[in-house]
C-alpha cells in the first residue's frame, strides 16, 4: 500500500495530522504532484488551517470558492513581496521551469507575480540527487582541509606527549 492510500486511511481514522505529514513526506520523496497538493490542501482546510490549505492549493489542481479564498488568505499572510510568498512554499514542489506547472497553476503564479520568485534555484546536485562536479569539488576540499587539521593536531599532541614523557 502506498503513501497516498495510507494517508486516506489516516483521514478515515480521524488522524488528519498524520495524513498531512505522510503526504508531505511523499512530496519530499517524489516531488511535485498537483493532486497530492490538492489533497493536502483539503486535509488542512478540514483541520481549519486555511493558511496551509492556501499554501498547498496555490500550486495544486484544486478549484472552487474555498480554494480561492484560502489562497488569498495565504498570500495576504505570507508577505508583501513575491519572494516572501514563494519562500513559504515547500521546496520539493518548486520546479525549475514555470512551463512545467499545469496551466491553472501557471495562471495563479502569474496572478501573484511569483514567476521569477518560485523557480527553484539549481543546487550542486543533479537531477538524480547526486552531487555534480562543483559539489564534489567542495566536498573534497572540505575533506582535505579537515584531514590536514587532524594531522596537525595529532602531531602537536605527539610532540607534547614526548616532552612530558622524556621531559
For 29-88, the pLDDT digits (tens) are 999 999 999 999 999 999 999 999 999 999 999 999 999 999 999 999 998 899 999 999
Give yes or no for residue 150 having a pLDDT over 80. Answer: yes
Answer yes or no: do 72 and 34 share one domain: yes
Confidence of residue 135 (pLDDT cuts 50, 70, 90): low
Q: Are residues 86 and 53 in the same domain?
A: yes
Same-domain check for residues 66 and 148: no
Q: What is the mean pLDDT of residues 119-128?
A: 54
Same domain flag for 106 and 148? no
What is the pLDDT at residue 164? 82
pLDDT of residue 55: 96
Supply the pLDDT for residue 129: 54
Task: Output 158 or 121, whichever has higher pLDDT.
Answer: 158
The answer to whether 17 touches 44, Cβ cutoff 8 Å, is: no
Determine the angle formed by the axes of helices 16-30 and 34-46, rounding to 10 degrees. 160
Tell me if 29 is assigned to some domain.
yes
Q: Do 130 and 59 fall within a single domain?
A: no
**Residue count of the chain:** 167
Q: Note the pLDDT of residue 162.
A: 80
Of the two residues 127 and 48, the one the predictor is more confident about is 48
Q: What backbone torsions phi and psi does residue 31 show, to the nearest 5 degrees?
A: 85, -165
Flag whether 33 is in a domain: yes
Q: What mean pLDDT, rounded, does the chain reach?
A: 87
Domain limits for position 166 = 124-167
**Which of 68, 89, 111 is at the close of a domain?**
111
Amino acid at each position: 500500500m502506498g503513501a497516498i492510500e495510507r494517508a486516506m486511511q489516516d483521514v478515515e481514522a480521524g488522524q488528519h495530522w498524520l495524513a498531512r505529514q505522510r503526504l508531505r513526506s511523499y512530496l519530499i520523496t517524489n516531488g511535485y504532484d498537483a493532486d497530492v497538493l490538492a489533497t493536502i490542501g483539503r486535509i488542512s482546510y478540514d483541520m481549519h488551517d486555511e493558511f496551509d490549505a492556501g499554501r498547498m492549493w496555490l500550486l495544486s489542481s484544486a478549484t472552487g470558492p474555498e480554494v480561492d479564498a484560502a489562497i488569498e488568505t495565504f498570500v495576504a499572510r505570507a508577505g508583501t513581496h513575491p519572494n516572501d510568498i514563494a519562500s513559504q512554499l515547500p521546496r520539493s514542489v518548486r520546479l525549475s521551469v514555470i512551463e512545467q506547472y499545469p496551466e491553472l497553476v501557471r495562471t495563479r503564479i502569474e496572478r501573484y507575480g511569483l514567476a521569477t520568485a518560485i523557480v527553484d534555484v539549481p543546487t550542486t546536485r543533479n537531477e538524480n540527487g547526486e552531487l555534480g562536479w562543483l559539489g564534489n569539488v567542495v566536498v573534497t576540499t572540505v575533506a582535505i582541509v579537515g584531514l590536514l587539521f587532524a594531522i596537525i593536531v595529532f602531531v602537536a599532541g605527539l610532540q607534547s606527549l614526548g616532552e612530558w614523557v622524556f621531559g
